[in-house]
Amino acid sequence: MAIVTGRTNGDTDGGDTGGASARSDGPAGTAGSSPAGTGTGGIPAQTGPGRSPAHPAPVTGRIRQPVALIRLLGGLFAAALTLLLADYARATTGGIAADVAEAASLVPRPLASLAGGLTTAAVLLLPVGLAVRRLLGPDRRRALQQVSDGLLAAVLAYGATLGVDLWADGLAPHSLLTALTQPLPGEVLGRTEPVYGYLAPVLAFMTASGSRERRLPWSVLALYGLAGLAGGFATPTALLLGLLIGWTGAHGTLYAVGTPDPCPRPGEILRALRESGLRPVEAHPTGPDRYRVRQADDRPELDVQLLDRQAVTAAAVRRAWRRLRLHTAPDPRVLRSPRTGLEHEALVTYAALAAGVRTRDIAATAGLGQDTALIAYRRLPGRTLDQLADEEITDALLTDAWGQLALLQRREIAHRALVPSSLLVDDAGTVHLVDFADGDIAATELVLRCDVAQLLTTLALRTGAARSVRTATAVLGPDPVDAALPLLQPIALTHTTRRALKLHAKRAGAPATVEGPPAPGTAAGAVPAPRRGAPDGAATDGPAADGPGPGGLLEEIRAEALRARPQVVGRPVRLERLRPRTLLAVVGGVVAGWLLIPQLFAAEDNPVSALADADPWWLLLALVAAATSHVTAAMGFVGFVPERLDFRNAVLAQLAGSFVKLVSPGGVGGVALNTRLLQRAGIPTAQALSSVGVGTMIGLVLHLLQLGAFVYLLDMQPGGSELDALPAVVGGLAGAAALLAVVSAIPVARRWLAARLRPLTTEVLPRLLDLLRSPARLAVGVTGQLLVSICLISCLYCCARAIGREPSFASVAVVFLVGNAAGSAAPTPGGAGAVDGALITLLQQTASMEKGGALAAVALYRLLTLILPVLPGWAAMAWLQRRRAL
């Protein structure tokens, strides 16, 4: 169904010069013999396509539109990419320029010179003509501001052009200057400009001044560029760079100074509604982009909602990100026009009405200029769910709300935003569903289940989980409710609901949410394995997932739904297609590869040649040390678990961690993997987490003790100290103690620190006391933790000896302990980039190795400890999963 929209016409009412509302007492037209506000057959009247354009709204201020920032960043990226390709793809750009120059040589020189002169004059006169046309228009004040913006953008673009010219002539590589320029034609000495002529400032003026003319200005610019190419005064790269600078400068100016607010004033809204066949009298703002309009002759009031390009663009960016991240997100409809958004909302509303859902009738739709549209609904008197008192929310009201959702579900219509403000309750206690702007027709089953999960949570926040689940089951039946349980995840809910869940959790003193889908093989209401430090809405990093506390509202809803049918097993649903952490890890890996790979192969001792010339015996010892580290890691793991474990499974789990850490930063993946192994071994979640926490805490203490010991040994070596690190270590510890004292003196910081340390005192320390009753097992754990570091240090030392370098073992130990700790905080897979850079730098400073040798040694070390174990780690993980040990 298409919604035909047009533009309003006429002047603003005399009384609408500064007030918040507008009043119109003049006669209002009607749509033929149909009732006011409707067309033939009762269809809401709409402005026709033949109406003349309205005056733009008077300027009331300036706003920064997100679309300007998006285009600014896109232009900067495109300009940087153009310069990069011009420098690195010199053969391609040079070939294109040579082909263009050969074709231009066929044009007679006098004709090319004449065309160049005429087009240059036309380009210089083009901004003048556009400015005069704008200033002679109906809204001169707005036109004057836009012309001023265009002039500012033109000046900035011309300055940027001169800056690029100077940079290319003096500071840029000679290869880039050659790619952007060519010798001047004829017998004139010199080269052409890196950025061609007046292209950038003229395009900047056209864009920033808001000119609606397209054909003539772009035809002039095209002829100007062709004349430059034909005359030999420009290269294709210079033309492209000029266009990008002008376009980027225009949007940078618009974002910096803002654009005149295009939001229409109430008088414009009244005029648009009159031309739609309604009889509006007065308009009052009721919220952002919302108005309440009173009509003449006791006709129903109207709720008017505006859709402007700024709001549509901001919403499109959010939709695009959610679409990239979630399987259930709506189509992004990136940078759609306000009219397209209006048509979509009207279409879904009509579909809901056809399904029998109670909602507001559409009275009219209209376009207000190029950047704004409106949709007018016949007002329904009532209050939204969040405005009702608790005693007013009866079971009958909840049942009615579920009945309306059931009508949508039967027709496969998704609302997507069933928040309290979307449930309107009239004076009779009847529920109406409103605000279908984000809705969809022909929705998938997953999206429909998300609507059920959303309404379950919305109603539970007001009435409790029991009433929400009971009324949902009575209307929808148990199967749809059970199917929605795996979708009770924060990421599947709206931002408003997630914020309400956090407030509810604070009041209840319990965690708010379940942070991911249930682990495979668990019931829909079961608590997945926890993962510490997960942000709101984050998914799990490994087989272990974060679970809520006993008071979490989402867990209460699950428990209530499973109380009647405990045998139900909910199939896990992973909604995220891309996690922010994964995106950050991929970007970090790409950046690390971009920085490290050229250095690796540009070095005198690159890893390829170093591996070919490496001493095989030292290389074999390094391989043995790397393999032994998995066995010692298993010792350090099982030694802190009082229960009996299968040591073979523990070793395979440590090997599987080599595969898991490729997709998780730091030691997060290993912690989740170890926790899951303990859970599958029959150890309760709390004790499993405590055992892993004890191992991590003791490992940190042993790491610091080893660092101190090797620093002391390094300073005590004969022949002078290679590293005067002992004062630095002592100073670092003293600084940490001082910071802890400052934090303890500030009440807010002290409470924050106490909350973070509470798991240590309530879970880890009691588990450690249990371990003290078994000194032999504790000794195994401590020994294993020490031997893990020794094995990895030995691997790095053997790699250095394999390529012919002879650093001291103590210096390599300090390098490993410091570099691995510093790099493990990086969010990249396996600390890629950060660990490598830290180890290379420290080997040069501490072990007195040259850059090439340090690069080769670290590359061999990472090959043995990060790359080679991936395939065996995958096989170990698959074997453990088949044996149900993970």
From residue 294, alpha-carbon distances to 19, 304, 838 in Å are 16, 11, 69
Q: 590: part of which helix (H) or strand (E)?
A: helix 580-602
Q: How many residues does the chain have?
A: 886
Q: Report whether 179 contacts 94 (CB < 8 A).
A: yes
Give CA 789 to chain center in angstroms.
37
Identify the residue whose tokens are 């005198």: 604
pLDDT given at position 33: 34
Q: Where are the alpha helices (DSSP H) in 681-725?
A: 685-715
pLDDT given at position 675: 82
Segments of the chain with pLDDT less than 50: 1-60, 332-335, 510-551, 603, 719-725
- Taking the C-alpha atoms of residue 56 and residue 868, their distance in angstroms, rounded to an integer, is 66
pLDDT given at position 624: 93
Across the beta sheet with 431-433, the strand order is 383-384, 423-425, 431-433
Tokens read off for 421: 């403000």
Which residue type sits at 646?
D
- Taking the C-alpha atoms of residue 388 and residue 30, their distance in angstroms, rounded to an integer, is 38
- Taking the C-alpha atoms of residue 713 and residue 717, their distance in angstroms, rounded to an integer, is 6
pLDDT given at position 338: 67
Which residue type sits at 238?
A
Start-to-end C-alpha separation, the chain: 53
The answer for residues whose C-beta is within 8 angstroms of residue 777's C-beta and 6 or more apart is 638, 639, 640, 642, 771
